[in-house]
Amino acid sequence: MGLLDKLFGEFVDIIEWIDESNDTLVYRFERYGNEIKYGAKLTVRESQLAVFVNEGQVADVFEPGMYELQTNNLPILSTLQGWTHGFESPFKAEVYFFSARQFTDLKWGTKNPVMLRDPEFGPVRLRGFGTYSIRINEPVVFLKEIAGTDGHFTTDEITNQLRNLIVSRFVSILGQSGIPVLDLAANYEDLSLYVTNKIRPEFVAYGLDVVKLLVENISLPPVVEEALDRRTSMGVVGSLRDYASFQAAEAMTAAAGNPGGGAAEGIGLGIGFAMANKMAESLSQPASRSDYLQLPRDKAGQAQVEDRYYLAVSGGQTGPFTFQELADKVRSKEVVRESLIWSKTLVDWTPAGQIQVLDDLFAEVPPPLPTR
């Protein structure tokens, strides 16, 4: 290599950036100590911006297009350099390329549950999640405030800060909204729009624009969600008794799917306890009058609703009486065990104490008081 080739090799004559990544916001063109040749070609592609920095100061900003670097399109840089020799000498400057496209599907979410007061459930803890998209709209501001001298600045280096900013504003807006937990899903769109407009000025201070922010989910803690699911199930099933029946049916279905398992025995015990509790409730309730006035039944178990009873009184007979009327006379002691009674089911006049259907009634009547 000759001396002239070596000298020409130190000059950069093509400046461009082809982005092969999906997360690079800023890329500094590497010169490796070489000087930029006067008349070099600068290519700024669509969705890119280029910024020249000379000795720590922003010199020129180039929008998409192809440029030949000469004094007519480098006015600021020409002034800063104070070029001599007809402004045709090579120069040294840092070139930063900025990606001006949208960076989408960036995640935000609350690290810890947020305590809020719900008008229906009282104090609740909520988590919020979603996505947002950004783009650089002021490269000089972004370079000064965020990127600095970083030669390869990616979204990972700023998303944590942006996420914290979004969460802070989101929590404040959610707390002030007073929207019940059960109505939040119907207001995701309004919340997304409101949060976007609220944080946009703060993003502008970083040289960024928040293109769109979405609230995708606001959730309760898993334990509370399970309790809410049970409450919803009860609302669908109906009353508590229907819910208990539903639970028993579900348990029997599970037992049928595992007939030999220990779970089936546990389910059987649970059903047994439930039946025992039900019987205990029935026994603990005071018996109504109708429980004692059940009509006598024949051998087939059919109530003898048409049977009439006659009562022998002072050599004559009175009646007919229904079973309930006869029971009232037993309680009022108008009929005693020795009283003679006849009905079509009896062969002859029979003492009341010997009639089986009246035996339970006499058990209610206390015996005569002892005489002194």
Q: How far is CA 351 from CA 50, 295, 312, 367, 368, in A?
A: 121, 19, 10, 17, 18
| Six-digit token string for 61 | 């900003």
Q: CA 85 to CA 54: how far, in whole Å?
A: 19
Quote the pLDDT of residue 203.
94
pLDDT band per the 50, 70, 90 thresholds, residue 243:
low
| Six-digit token string for 188 | 């995701």
Q: Mean of the per-residue pLDDT values for the chain?
A: 77
Where a domain ends, among 179, 199, 220? Answer: 220
Residue scoring higher pLDDT (115 or 239): 115
Residue 29 counted as domain residue: yes
Residue 123 counted as domain residue: yes
pLDDT band per the 50, 70, 90 thresholds, residue 89:
low
Q: Do 73 and 137 sit in the same domain of this protein?
A: no
Q: Do 138 and 204 sit in the same domain of this protein?
A: yes
Residue 341 counted as domain residue: yes
Asked if the model's pLDDT at residue 73 lies above 80, the reply is no
Quote the pLDDT of residue 109.
93
Residue 84 counted as domain residue: yes
Q: Per residue in 250-273, pLDDT tens?
A: 777 777 666 665 555 555 555 555
Give 99's Cβ-side CA count (13 Å radius): 21
CB 31 within 8 A of CB 12: yes
Residue corresponding to tokens 């030949």: 68
Residue 245 counted as domain residue: no
Residue scoring higher pLDDT (191 or 91): 191
pLDDT, mean of residues 228-249: 68
pLDDT band per the 50, 70, 90 thresholds, residue 352:
confident
Q: Do 214 and 112 sit in the same domain of this protein?
A: yes
% residues pLDDT > 70 (the chain): 70
Q: Do 108 and 206 sit in the same domain of this protein?
A: yes
Q: Do 35 and 85 sit in the same domain of this protein?
A: yes
Residue 297 counted as domain residue: no
pLDDT, mean of residues 19-32: 87
pLDDT band per the 50, 70, 90 thresholds, residue 188:
very high
Picking from 119-123, 157-161, 165-169, which range would have the lowest pLDDT averaged per residue? 119-123
Asked if the model's pLDDT at residue 288 lies above 50, the reply is no
Quote the pLDDT of residue 65.
93
pLDDT, mean of residues 71-76: 66
CATH number reported for the structural domain that contains residue 131 in this entry: 3.30.479.30
Residue 276 counted as domain residue: no
Quote the pLDDT of residue 157.
93
Between CA 295 and CA 301, with CA 298 as vertex, the angle to 5 degrees is 80
Q: How many domains does the chain have?
A: 3
Q: Per residue in 192-235, pLDDT tens?
A: 999 999 999 999 999 999 999 999 999 988 888 888 777 776 66
Q: Do 80 and 112 sit in the same domain of this protein?
A: no
pLDDT, mean of residues 270-289: 49
Q: Per residue in 115-148, pLDDT tens?
A: 888 888 888 899 999 999 999 999 999 999 999 8
pLDDT, mean of residues 47-72: 86
Asked if the model's pLDDT at residue 26 lies above 70, the reply is yes
Question: Domain limits at 32?
Answer: 3-99
Where a domain ends, among 99, 133, 166? Answer: 99
SS3 303: strand
Q: Do 355 and 326 sit in the same domain of this protein?
A: yes
Q: Do 124 and 212 sit in the same domain of this protein?
A: yes
Q: Do 213 and 128 sit in the same domain of this protein?
A: yes
CB 117 within 8 A of CB 72: no
